[in-house]
Amino acid sequence: MFDINSLEQGFFILGESSNRLPNLKGMRSSFIDFDDNLYVLEVQYGDNYTQNILKSSFSYSIWFWSKQANEGTKLLSSKGDCYRFYVDKKKNIYVTETENHRVVKYYAPVYSNYTIAAGNGIQGSDLSQLNLPFSVYLDETNSDLFVVDRVNRRIQKWSSDAKQGETIVSHLFAGARSVIPDCHGNFIVYRRNEAKLYNRFEITGFDGIEILNSSVKFEAMAYDETNGDIYVLNIKRNNVIKYTIEREVTLYNNTISSLDNETDVTPCEIASDSTWMLIGEVILGNSVLGCGSAKEQLCLPTRLFITSDDILYILDSGNLRIQKYNITDQTVSTAINRGLIFNPLSIYVSETHDIYVLDRPNKTNSFVKVWYNNNYNKHGTILIHANENFRNFYLDQDLNIYILTNSDIRKWFAPNYYYSIGIISFLNNRTPFYIDQQFSLYIYDILQRTIKKWSAGSLSSMTVFSGLPYTYNSEQLIFTLDCNNNIYFTHINKLEKISSYVIYRLNPKKNSTEIIDRNLTSVAGVQFDSYGNLYVTERNKHHVKMFAIMN
């Protein structure tokens, strides 16, 4: 992450205010080689230049000045448009011919001979094609060529003499310009006022990690790999701004490699054909007394969470508090009091009984806070704050936090939560989701009426179930898995005169669907204890019911 460090006075090395000739009019890019020689890209337009620029009206040239020379030499010239170029150690020049949808390599020292290094000259999105390539970088340790394929929003790697490229990064942000590899194998890509760090999807997600966002619109960027400084060219104020590293972060793999394979796993008491008592027992709250704030009462309870030692936490939304119920000895206490949370949407409780809350005081502010065990009476620690509308969240076993935003699911990495990556994009903002013990992510795709699964680190999903019933109110849809990865979700039955909630169970192994309860109202939370008993909040009845497992 970068911040402005200093503004330093520079001097002109080329142009009307310098002593070097000729004075170029259409300078677009420059390059300094290992011998401190200067190369400049000049782009010119034909005499009949109009707003509707024709490809034939472009021509580009690359000029050369040795370290001490005042007179420049034109090394090459060709028809077409070009934005960036690269010079390797042998002085060969790689040029992005943008409108020709290819990268051309000119051979030193004469530069009259060339080959096509990337693309086939045909506009497209196949691996053998490019679409308006913008910039290029050569890894001289292995001759791999990296191209910012702008319209296709990807970085392509072309090995020497390859007939097609390999997509290294997809989902580049729109308007991406140059690509600059750092010493850690990441790619720094920038556009007008923003820079992002990209790597493989499992490391930086589908949209990269933002490392610089400035009010300054810059035309070019350089990276000092010795210390990590970034320099940007501010063309409006005619200066160069240096950004230095403000904070270092560790990049993590979005995979299950961090799982401890020797961790003891609690035996699962829920079989694929388990059944529960038809009549549930109210264990907390009272539908007769209604909404209340006494210790044994609830008011509009919503989400539930049960820890492995069978402590039930209830989000008592109407009272703006979180209640704690010991399933074993049936005692009740208040974990988080009124005044500490304002519009809580969901909760998660760790094995050490740290309570995580997604709190949205208003539509433009969202917080994820944690109350560490034995510090419940304090205001909590803010882990994540954003000026946007978070919808739901969940944590995996490593306490990484997944948040449903208005358009995607993002993952913030523990323990510091300094940065996030996008792992699923273009979702309905009401989409319920769940993370299992293997770090796989399940979503209920409301629009397509399917349940999809993304394995950890995977860019694509598999459909687990399809043809699910239509959901009338997705805000009230509850979605969870048990310890055997049977899937449960609620559905509002509107075929009867009085709307009732139905709980479905889906068994992926048997590809079966069944109804386990159809006589509930306003279900807002579903959880299982270690014995397999089922707990349900009926929001409008202000209570929590327990359905005992029968087999």
Q: Return the CATH number at 448.
A: 2.120.10.30
- In this prediction, residue 528 carries a pLDDT of 94
pLDDT of residue 44 exceeding 90, the answer is no
- Whether 21 and 136 map to the same domain: the answer is yes
Q: Is the pLDDT score of 99 beyond 80?
A: yes
Question: CB–CB of 26/53 below 8 Å?
Answer: no
Q: What confidence score (pLDDT) does residue 6 get? A: 45
Say yes or no to pLDDT of 430 above 50: yes
How many domains does the chain contain in total?
Answer: 2
pLDDT, residue 263, reads 46
Among candidate residues 170, 202, 218, the one where a domain is terminated: 218
Same-domain check for residues 309 and 166 = no
Q: What is the mean pLDDT of residues 485-514?
A: 78
Q: What is the rounded average pLDDT of the residues 332-353?
A: 95
Whether residues 46 and 123 fall in one domain: yes
204 and 337 both lie in a single domain? no
The segment with the largest mean pLDDT, out of 1-15, 438-452, 487-501, is 438-452
- Per DSSP, the residues of 368-428 read EEEE-TT-TTS--EEEEEESS---EEEE-TT--EEEE-SSEEEEEPTTT---EEEEEES--
286-310 residue pLDDT tens: 878 889 999 999 999 999 999 999 9
Assigned domain for 477 exists: yes
Closest CA to 516 of 527, 531, 500, 505: 505
Band (4; pLDDT cuts 50, 70, 90): very low
Residue 240 in any domain: the answer is no
Q: In the prediction, which pLDDT does 260 show?
A: 45
**218, 247, 269 - which closes a domain:** 218
| d(C-alpha 43, C-alpha 548), whole Å | 76
Whether the per-residue pLDDT at 221 is higher than 90: the answer is: no
pLDDT of residue 442: 93
290 and 207 in a common domain: no
Q: Is residue 25 part of a domain?
A: yes
Give the mean pLDDT of 42-46. 80
pLDDT of residue 499: 60
Is residue 130 very low, low, confident or very high in pLDDT (cuts 50, 70, 90)?
very high
Rounded distance between C-alpha atoms, residue 288 and residue 191, angstroms: 61
Tokens 């160069």 — which residue? 240
- The token duo for 207 is 């949209």
Q: Note the pLDDT of residue 117.
A: 96
Q: Is residue 268 part of a domain?
A: no
More reliable by pLDDT, 17 or 364: 364
The residue segments making up the domain with residue 90 are 8-218
Please indicate, yes or no, whether residues 301 and 209 belong to a single structural domain of this protein. Answer: no
With beta carbons less than 8 A apart as the criterion, state whether 230 and 246 touch.
Answer: no
pLDDT tens string 384-396? 999 989 989 999 9
Residue 179 banded pLDDT, cuts 50, 70, 90: confident
Q: Which of 477, 440, 447, 482 is nearest to 462 (CA)?
A: 440
State the sign of the Cα–Cα–Cα–Cα dihedral 80, 82, 87, 88. Answer: negative
What is the pLDDT, as a whole number, of residue 56?
A: 56
Percent of the chain scored above 90 by pLDDT?
46
Mean pLDDT of 236-247: 78
Instruction: Identify the residue with better confidence: 48 or 402.
Output: 402
Model pLDDT, residue 13: 57
Residue 269 falls inside a structural domain? no
Same domain, 286 and 422: yes
State the Cα–Cα distance between residues 248 and 211, nearest whole angstrom.
Answer: 10
* Phi, psi of 541, rounded to the nearest 5 degrees: -100, -5
- Asked if residue 346 belongs to a domain, the reply is yes
Residues 6+ apart with CB under 8 A from 17: none
Spatial CA neighbour of 97 closest among 41, 173, 165, 167: 41
13, 146: one domain? yes
Q: 298 and 210, same structural domain?
A: no
User: What are the DSSP calls for 456-511, one per residue?
Assistant: TT-SS-EEEE-SPPPPS-GGG--EEE-TT--EEEEEEE-SSSS-EEEEEEEETTTT
**DSSP label at residue 445:** E
Specify the pLDDT at position 335.
95
Q: Is the pLDDT of residue 459 over 70?
A: yes
Cα separation of 548 and 535, whole Å?
Answer: 9
Section 62-85 average pLDDT: 90
Rounded distance, CA 84 to CA 27, Å?
11
The per-residue pLDDT for range 317-340, each reduced to its tens digit, is: 999 999 999 999 999 999 999 999
How high is the pLDDT of residue 7?
A: 46
Length of the chain: 551
Cβ–Cβ under 8 Å, residues 551 and 274? yes
Q: Residue 453: how many CA atoms within 13 Å on its side-chain side?
A: 16
Three-class secondary structure of residue 99 per DSSP? helix
Cis peptide before 109 (omega within 30 of 0): yes
Average pLDDT, the chain: 86
Lowest mean pLDDT among 73-77, 147-151, 354-358, 484-488: 484-488
Q: How far is CA 217 from CA 181, 244, 311, 389, in A?
A: 22, 18, 53, 27
Is the pLDDT score of 64 beyond 60? yes
Phi, psi of 244 (to 5 degrees): -105, 160
Same domain for 540 and 402: yes
- Last residue in a domain, options 164, 198, 218: 218
Residue 416 shares a structural domain with residue 289: yes
Q: Which residues pair with 306 in a beta bridge?
A: 312
Q: Is residue 270 part of a domain?
A: no
Nearest in space to 268 (alpha carbons), one of 396, 515, 464, 436: 436
What are the Cα distances from residue 216, in Å, to 119, 213, 241, 300? 33, 9, 9, 48
Classify residue 2: in a domain, yes or no.
no
Claim to verify: residue 410 and residue 542 sit in the same structural domain: yes
Please report, as a single letter, which amino acid is at residue 225: E
Q: Is 457 or 146 the better-scoring residue by pLDDT?
A: 146
pLDDT of residue 406: 84
Q: What percent of the chain has pLDDT over 70?
A: 88
Indicate if the pLDDT at residue 53 is higher than 80. no
Lowest-confidence segment of 43-57, 268-282, 464-478 by average pLDDT: 43-57
